[in-house]
Chains A and B, each alone.
Chain A
Amino acid sequence: MNIKILGTGCPNCQKLKSNVELAVEEMELKDVKIEKVEDIDKIIGFGVMSTPALVINEEVKSAGRIVEVEEIKTWLK
C-alpha cells in the first residue's frame, strides 16, 4: 500500500502525517509506504488545491483538513 501526504510543509501537514502513522501502527499493517510530497507541481498534479491532502494508492481521499485517526483507518481496510 502506498500513502502520500501532500503539503508544502506546514504544521497541519505534519499533524496529518503523524495521524496516518498512528493509524498504520494501530492496525499493524505491513508493507505500507508513507511518503511526503512537497513539490507544488506534483501536488497540483493530483488536482488538489487545499493542503494537507491524503492520497492512498494514487487516489485522493481528503483535502484541506486534518483527518482523524479513526477515519483514516476506514480507508486503510
Chain B
Amino acid sequence: MNKKEWYKLSYIIIIFLFFYFLPSKTVWFYPALISGLELLREYAREHILTCLIPAFFIAGAIVVLVKKEAVLKYLGKNVKPLISYSIASVSGAVLAICSCTILPLFAGIRKRGAGLGPAITFLFSGPAINIAAIFLTISVLGLNIGLARIISSIILAIIVGLTMNFIFKEKVEESNLFIEKSESKKISPKKIFLFFFSLLAILVVNGLAIDQGLKYWLTALLIIAITYISLFDFSKETNKNWLRETWGFSKMILPLLFIGVFIAGFISPLLPQEFITKVVGANTVSANLIASVFGAFMYFSTLTEVPILKEFIAKGMSSGPALALLLAGPSLSLPNMLVIRKVLGNKKTLVYILLVIFYSTLAGLIFGSII
C-alpha cells in the first residue's frame, strides 16, 4: 500500500474509534450536543453577518489600500523609541492579520529594523488588535471588556517589548531593509477615508441599540456608498484584490471559528459552576494568575477565545481574570509560540512567556478592581 492509502486507513480507524467510544449513552451527552448547536445558531444569527463579515471586508481593504511602507518606515532603524514602540503597538491592526505575515515582519523588525523591543511589541499586540477581534469581543462580551482589551493590549505590548529589550540587549544588523515604493495610487485620500468610514460605520451601526428597521436602512445606505466608491473610484484590479483578500480571511478564519463556537457550546453544560466560581470567581491574585496561565498554554485559534470566554463568564468567571485570559490567550497561541521559538530560541521564548503571564495577571487585577 502506498502512503495515501495508509492515510485513508488511519482516517477510517479514527472515525471508527470515535463512534465506538461515542459517549451517547451518558446523561450529559445530548444536552451538551444541543447546547453546542444552539450556540452555533446564535452566532450565525447575531455575530457572523453583522460583525465578522464586515470585519473581513475591512481587513481585506486594509491589505489592498493601506500602504505598508508608510507604516514600516517607522519600524526601521534610527527611529526614536517613543515612535517605534507606539507604532509597533498599533500596527498589528494594519500589518499582521494572518500568522503567515507575522513571522517575516517580526524577524525583519528585530534583525534589521527597530530591534527586539518593538518587534516583541508588534508580535504581542497583533492578534488582539485586528478589526475582527475587536468587534467580535465588543459584540459578544460587551463594550467594557472590549475596550479594556484594546487599551490593555496596547499598553501591555509596549511594556513587554520594553522589558524584553532591557533584559536582552541585542544589536541590529548594519544592512538595511528593502522597502518597496509603490506608485501613488490614483485614489484621493478623501475617497479612501470615506470608504473606510462607511465600512466601519456598518459595524458600529449594527452594534448600536437602535430600532431594527432603522438599522437595515442605515446599513443599506452604507453598502450603497461603499459599492459606489469601489465601482467608480477603484480600478478593477483593486476591487479584484480586495475581494480576494476578503475571501482569504473568511476561508481561513470561519471554519475554525465554527468549530470553536461549537466546542464552547458543547463544554458549557459540562463546566462545573461551583469550581469556576471558586477558582476564578473573584478578582484575586491567584484567580488572575490561573486565568493567564490557562490562557497562555491553552490554544485558541483566531477569534475562538471570545466564545469560549463567554461561557466561562456565564459560569461565574469574574471580569478581571476574564481580561487576563483574553490578554495572555491569543498572544501566546501555538503559531505564535512556534514563530518566536524559531526566531528567538528557547531562553528568550521562556522569558517572553513568563512576562506575558506576569503582566496579564497584573492587568486583570487592575481591571477587576476598577470595574
State the A residues within 8 Å of B (CB). 7-12, 40-41, 43-44, 46-51, 53, 60, 62-66, 68
Contact = CB atoms under 8 A, between A and B. Distances in A.
Interface size bracket, B side:
20 to 34
A10 B180 CA distance: 20
Contacts of A12: 100, 248
* Residue among B104, B342, B343 with most chain A CB within 10 A: B104
Contact of A8 (B72, B100, B175, B248): B100
Nearest to A66: B241
Interface centre among B112, B178, B342, B343 (most CB of A within 10 A): B178
Contact of B113 (A11, A49, A66): A49
Interface hub of B105, B109, B177, B342 (most chain A Cβ within 10 A):
B177
Contacts of B180: 60, 62-65
A23 to B, nearest CB: 16
A8 B175 CA distance: 22
B103 interface: yes
A70 to B, nearest CB: 11
Nearest to A62: B180
B104 A44 contact: yes
A44 B100 contact: no
Ranked nearest first, the 3 interchain pairs of A and B with the lowest CB-CB distance are: A49-B108, A10-B100, A47-B178
A2 B178 CA distance: 19
B107 A49 contact: yes
Contact of B104 (A49, A60, A62): A49
B178 A63 contact: yes
Contacts of B237: 68
- Which of B98, B108, B237, B248 has the most C-beta atoms of chain A within 10 angstroms of its own C-beta? B108
A49 B72 contact: yes
B15 to A, nearest CB: 28
Interface string B96-125: 001011011101110111000000000000
A43 B108 CA distance: 9
Contacts of A65: 180
Nearest to A6: B104
A10 B98 contact: yes
Contacts of B241: 66
A10 B241 CA distance: 16
B176 interface: yes
A50 B105 contact: yes
B215 interface: no
